Amino acid sequence: MSGLIDLKCVPFDAEIVSGSADIVFTALPHQVAMGVVPGLLDRGAKVIDLSADFRFQDVSLYEKWYQTHKAPSLLKMAVYGLPEINLELIRNSSLVGNPGCYPTSAILPLAPFVTGDLIGLNSIVIDSKSGASGAGRSLSLTTHFCEVHEGLRAYKVASHRHAPEIEEVLTTLAALPVTVTFTPHLVPMSRGMLTTIYADILGDLPPDAVHDLLVSYYNDKPFVRIMSPGKWPDTLHVRGSNYTDIGFQVDKRANRLILISAIDNLVKGASGQAVQNMNIMQGLPETSGLLAIPFPV
Amino acid sequence: MSGLIDLKCVPFDAEIVSGSADIVFTALPHQVAMGVVPGLLDRGAKVIDLSADFRFQDVSLYEKWYQTHKAPSLLKMAVYGLPEINLELIRNSSLVGNPGCYPTSAILPLAPFVTGDLIGLNSIVIDSKSGASGAGRSLSLTTHFCEVHEGLRAYKVASHRHAPEIEEVLTTLAALPVTVTFTPHLVPMSRGMLTTIYADILGDLPPDAVHDLLVSYYNDKPFVRIMSPGKWPDTLHVRGSNYTDIGFQVDKRANRLILISAIDNLVKGASGQAVQNMNIMQGLPETSGLLAIPFPV
Amino acid sequence: MSGLIDLKCVPFDAEIVSGSADIVFTALPHQVAMGVVPGLLDRGAKVIDLSADFRFQDVSLYEKWYQTHKAPSLLKMAVYGLPEINLELIRNSSLVGNPGCYPTSAILPLAPFVTGDLIGLNSIVIDSKSGASGAGRSLSLTTHFCEVHEGLRAYKVASHRHAPEIEEVLTTLAALPVTVTFTPHLVPMSRGMLTTIYADILGDLPPDAVHDLLVSYYNDKPFVRIMSPGKWPDTLHVRGSNYTDIGFQVDKRANRLILISAIDNLVKGASGQAVQNMNIMQGLPETSGLLAIPFPV
Amino acid sequence: MSGLIDLKCVPFDAEIVSGSADIVFTALPHQVAMGVVPGLLDRGAKVIDLSADFRFQDVSLYEKWYQTHKAPSLLKMAVYGLPEINLELIRNSSLVGNPGCYPTSAILPLAPFVTGDLIGLNSIVIDSKSGASGAGRSLSLTTHFCEVHEGLRAYKVASHRHAPEIEEVLTTLAALPVTVTFTPHLVPMSRGMLTTIYADILGDLPPDAVHDLLVSYYNDKPFVRIMSPGKWPDTLHVRGSNYTDIGFQVDKRANRLILISAIDNLVKGASGQAVQNMNIMQGLPETSGLLAIPFPV
């Protein structure tokens, strides 16, 4: 950012970084992160890791979907960095695995509903739509302007690595096994993620109860905004912000709950959430540096 | 189209139109169409109507979701103009109700699966994503460039009028009641519709069987292309064409079938399908005028 | 902005506003503004007006391109609010006419060159490209998503009202008559304005001299960034910020100077510049509230 | 194109190709083309080459802007494939150099005006705007969706290789040296090119005369559409077609002519023009296969 930032990129040195930083963000590819993080922790650093390497508690689950884990013992101390769910654990942690963007957008709407026999825990369908920035900056025909523009497609249908991440967190919350069907889609926009979730209602769950449950569950959470009934989230309204907007509908004809969330995949879905975790770990106000007004368009 | 077309717009006159046209396309708002179509039929015209007024067989269903029907007796003779389903009926009809874009994209993938106890008929979730042209040319902030661009949102969640249209057709095919949950979304692109469908598998339905069933069901249908396993449709690849591309996945962990279709909402979802119906009604080859190569981007 | 701002919209009352506000921003249509501003000034308010009503010094020029002026006497006290040009005048003013977006993008690159016999003052061609937000929120087919997307067109060619605004300011700077040819274009993006300017070089003006002149002219101006030779501005890099990025080229074969600027039409082209003017008028640091990092994409 | 085309890609063999094809299109990178084309011509093939290798008559001009030419003798027989200018030469040629997209969009509007002392031949400024498909399919951050979307920038300012191509053709037409300033820009859309041209009027050139000259010059040209006065081209209206739409304005205050053209850079700017050349070389109607209706959006 010409004229605004004068930080310089320097070669990584675990010794120097650990000695000088209050907290370290590691934003490295999967597998590379697990080679670097132990050296930082050994030297006393607190780490927020943005790869998948420290998001799982169950190493076998990680190894089934990714590869052999080189630092499995660290998984016991790592905390899943979703502050609305794990606030106290994060506060006391020195290693946080920052959640994936899709899991953030799916877990937050579902969390209030996976206990209390409200919905079928094996009936959950998660249909997510992401802007092209989710695919990263590496070069691929997949992100060529002319392939994205006016294109719309699903990918890794029921085989994306974020499904087990979602399931492990929800299973812990539910204290019962949760299985989800998860389909990600690529949408012709730069930023933003909209996730539409479907689940069978087990007994009776009137719209008012859904709204009340969402409002009370996220009552004191500064970055979750519950929409009024009949209003649904729009990625435009969270763009550039750390908000998660959540709306809902009860399909009475099918007795099915529909939850919809919108996040900015690059903020609440990645770096903003990492800063939120930092704030918590450092005893700062949770919202420090994160109250920028959304930047629609 | 300057330099290409020299047809002139003239005031509508049922007498003149009926006397001179082999077939009449009525592209009028709901409720207006039902006032015009009877006069055309009375004068011996064949009509393909692009409104919702002649899509329903059950007048009470129409009146529940739209308004009082002024020509209910015509519903008995009207044929739902989805040629892949109703070919023979269309051939012999003089009044065709041209399907909505969402129903076309949902019914075609589902049709092979609603018989034979393959899927739960009340477990169907239809998550559709449409480009902005689906909202028409009338002026609204909803279609202002700055509201659509980088925006992504659901609307009329579980309350869109295309849900009963889908259900009536599937119920007829299944000969059993079918209930669907239907959520439309607005995506920042001009054309194209992607529909992702989820349904519980009742017994055992291996991927090969899904593929075989789709291929055999649409064996002789020129506008349905079944994707190979592991490939999924992209709106880019049907743009400007009358194709419906259908892909699938079996989520074995959840024993759930996933079907995905892509159409151009303005062609197979509207005018292209109307021409296809005309071809059939007039005894022309079904593909006449409809074999333009897709126009990606 | 749900959850962020709790200001309420209230009916306008000049008495209340003047009594309680340090400074008043009037963002009203042309002609409406000139009916409201005098009442505010009479009551002692300082006003920054975002319409065209107080941008001209010469009332006959205003009346030629707009309409009869109802408060022509105010034009003598009004200052053209381009802080890089009129800093001291703005500081001491109580009525600032905030510049149009096109004039801001054209005047800043040209200002250093209109004195000293460097370029032909009647040879200036200004080719501007604007995102759709420049057309405002009012409903029109012109801003319908499907008309803007993949569309690119010029409008009001050599007949746009911003041409005389540019000319009057440059003429004052040059102390000689300046005539420009100005062509605005509408580009399929939401925000951003790129202006490419051409002018005949009168004598010899080597690239180094162009660069030095730009750098020295804007030496102490916090919102103007001069690009290194061979680099040209991109609207992405000023998005959401108050910056004006300026690049240049000397076409030696034609002995012609090319200047290129990029601004965010909604920030430096409108509200950001208004805040910059407020800072100056109130004795605040010029950059207060305006150092947000650009928000590319 | 699944289901539509069953041609197979086979390794190139000059012998086989020359023996079986009526005409050969070579769409190869610069420098590669000049290695392949001679072998085809030697074997009696007619060739339409889409690279820059056979666009120049003056080999020194080619070598100044590109590299050493390996088949300079062929330049004498090669014809510049702009049918509206070189119809008879193309008809009798066996080697056509298909024009660049920018030159097509610039030469056609200017051609009627470079003779007769109408405009200053050194006063011409060409400001072109191209969609991202102009940059090709090769992978580069420059065409990454997130870099193009909402981005707008000039590149190769006054240093693009299409400038000498434009100048050589216009110089031949004018029979006097023509020098142009040419600035290409990248616009966030897939297809389309809009070129805005400025030139000093030498004497008196009223709007009616401009319109009449354009209309008469392109009277019998099927792919040039002259806009009525006060209307200007839009890339949307030529999308997918072989049309060049040309509009104009006379800026009386500056006595400057403004010409604006719109083409589809992939059709009239490349492959469509190649087919038009083929039609002419083969004695087919010039419009064969090229009358598809534009595909707006």
Q: Is C151 on the interface with B (CB under 8 A)?
A: no
Q: Which of helix, strand or coil describes residue B292?
A: coil
Predicted pLDDT of residue C284: 98
**Which of chain D's residues have a Cβ under 8 Å away from the Cβ of A143?**
144-146
Model confidence at D1, pLDDT cuts 50, 70, 90, reads: low
Band (pLDDT 50/70/90 cuts) for residue D164 is very high
What integer is the mean pLDDT of C249-275? 97
Q: Does D164 touch chain C (CB under 8 A)?
A: no
Amino acid sitting at position C258: I
- Chains in contact with D, where contact means 3 or more Cβ–Cβ distances below 8 Å, are A, B, C
Please indicate whether, in this complex, the C-beta atoms of B151 and A258 are within 8 angstroms of each other: no
Q: With an 8 Å Cβ cutoff, is B23 touching chain A?
A: no
Cα D43 to the center of its chain, rounded Å: 28
Predicted confidence at residue A156, as pLDDT, reads 96
pLDDT value at residue A62? 96
Q: Are strands C24-26 and D24-26 parallel, antiparallel or unpaired?
A: unpaired
Q: What is the mean pLDDT of residues C139-154?
A: 89
**B168-171 long-range contacts, CB within 8 A, separation 24+:** B168/B56, B168/B57, B168/B58, B168/B61, B169/B80, B169/B82, B169/B85, B169/B103, B169/B107, B170/B107, B170/B110, B170/B111, B170/B114, B170/B121, B170/B124
Kindly tell me if the per-residue pLDDT of C124 is higher than 80. Answer: yes
CA distances, B224 to each of A195, B261, B288, C43 (Å): 29, 10, 16, 72
Those residues of chain B that have pLDDT short of 50 are: none
pLDDT at A1: 52
Query: Are the Cβ atoms of B295 and D293 closer than 8 angstroms?
Result: no
What distance in Å separates the CA atoms of residue C181 and residue C165, rounded to the nearest whole number?
A: 12
Above 60 in pLDDT, residue D9? yes
CB D236 within 8 Å of CB C150:
yes
Cβ within 8 Å, pair B237-D297:
no
Task: Pick the range with the lowest mean pLDDT from A210-219, D141-150, D214-223, D245-254.
Answer: D141-150
In this complex, the residue of B140, B147, B190 whose CB is nearest that of residue C149 is B190
The mean pLDDT value for D190-211 works out to: 97
Query: Would you call A160 an interface residue with chain B, using a CB distance cutoff of 8 Å?
Result: no
Is the pLDDT assigned to residue D3 strictly greater than 80? no
The span from the CA of B201 to the CA of B123, in Å, is 9
Within 10 angstroms of residue B180's Cβ, the number of other Cβ atoms is 25
Q: Extract the tokens encoding A156.
A: 């890794």
Are A79 and A277 contacting, i.e. CB atoms less than 8 angstroms apart? no
Note the pLDDT of residue B296: 73
D35-57 residue pLDDT tens: 999 999 999 999 999 999 999 99
Q: Does C261 touch chain D (CB under 8 A)?
A: no
Residue D294, helix vs strand vs coil: coil
pLDDT, position A294 = 83
Question: Of all residues in chain D, what percent carry a pLDDT higher than 90?
Answer: 89
The predicted structure's pLDDT at residue C1: 52
Alpha-carbon distance of B49 to B51, in angstroms, equals 6
Max CA distance (Å), chain A? 61
Q: Is the pLDDT of residue D61 over 80?
A: yes
The Cα A189–Cα A202 span in angstroms is: 36
Is C293's CB within 8 Å of A191's CB? Answer: no
pLDDT of residue D136: 80
Spans of chain A, pLDDT less than 50: none
Give me the sheet containing D24-26, strands edge to edge: D24-26, D47-49, D95-97, D79-80
Residue C167: which pLDDT band, with cuts at 50, 70 and 90?
Answer: very high
D residues 208..247 contacting B (CB < 8 A) = 225, 237, 240, 243
pLDDT of residue A141: 84
Q: How confident is the model over A242-290, as pLDDT tens digits? A: 999 999 999 999 999 999 999 999 999 999 999 999 999 999 999 999 9
Which residues of chain B lie closer than 8 angstroms to C138, CB-CB?
none
**Cβ contacts of C133 on chain A, cutoff 8 Å:** 297
Q: Which of residues 186-205 of A touch C (CB under 8 A)?
A: 190-191
Which conformational region is residue D156 in: left (phi greater than 0), alpha (psi within -120 to 50 degrees), or beta? left
pLDDT in tens, B40-72: 999 999 999 999 999 999 999 999 999 999 999
pTM of the model: 0.96
